Amino acid sequence: MLLQDHVAFLTGAGSGIGRAGALALARNGATVIVSDLDPDRAGAVAAEITASGGNAEALGLDVTDDAALEAAIAESHDRHGRLDILHSHAGAQIPGRLDEVSVADMDASWRLNVRSHFVAARGAMAVMKPQGRGSIIVTSSNSGVQYDRGMIAYCTTKHAVIAMVRQIAVDYARYGVRCNALCPGFVDTVFNAGFEAQMGGRRALENYVAGTIPMGRWGTAEEIAESIVYLASDRSSFMTGHALVLDGAESL
């Protein structure tokens, strides 16, 4: 299999795109450490993987706890003797314009959408660089390559993630560690609550998707998961520092 004997550590993997990515990595042979703020959701995903014959472990993890995040990554490496893939996915969507987002909300958005990825990448790099191999995938958004009206905290942090990914990529390419950003557009998950509220409800959001996205539909978590496998595997062996946009051409 494509990822046979690989070990992958995932954050925010208890639902939505994170869950789909965990399942897809496991189907391709990886041992997957499924972490999520909600340990029950992490456990359910890990159980789903093992019930299908895959290998998975579950972990309740608050990625804004720097020490806990670093320790979880280090311990996973030590337990398995390797760490090949990090998918740092956990994030938050706080809607609002400059005059609607508090400083505390901006700080919370930055801590989860940027700082936690920085801490996770540092933890993974500490073991991947000595290995001479590894793939770090950080979830940004197509909001990281465009500007959404009334989404200052979200767009700012998602643009910052792409800048960070590119800096990591250029600094560590010579050591065999790749770093890329995953940039999904609209996928029908609970993560869209901020956009739904901003637009005035579910029907307005569905009308936006149908009328504004050139492909005229939502993406699926499973479609995004296939790109996670691609970025994790040697199929993307010459790709680093890239922002992989999957949004039905919305950002064009």
Q: Tokens 């936006």 belong to which residue? A: 208
Element (H or E) spanning 211, and its range? Answer: helix 202-212
147, 154, 208, 230: the catalytic one is 154
Strands of 117-227, DSSP E:
134-139, 177-184
Q: Tokens 């472990």 belong to which residue? A: 57
- CA atoms of 202 and 98, how far apart (whole Å): 24
Helix axes 66-80, 116-131, angle to 10 degrees: 30
Q: Which two tokens stand for residue 154?
A: 């979200």
- CA atoms of 150 and 127, how far apart (whole Å): 39
- CA atoms of 110 and 154, how far apart (whole Å): 9
- Specify whether the CB–CB gap between 81 and 60 falls below 8 A: no
Q: Which two tokens stand for residue 88?
A: 């740092």
- CA atoms of 198 and 204, how far apart (whole Å): 10
How far is CA 185 from each of CA 48, 55, 189, rounded to the nearest angstrom?
A: 26, 29, 11
- CA atoms of 49 and 52, how far apart (whole Å): 5
Exposed (0-12), middle (13-18) or buried (19+): which is 149, by Cβ within 10 Å? exposed
Any catalytic annotation for residue 154?
yes
Which residues are the active-site residues? 154
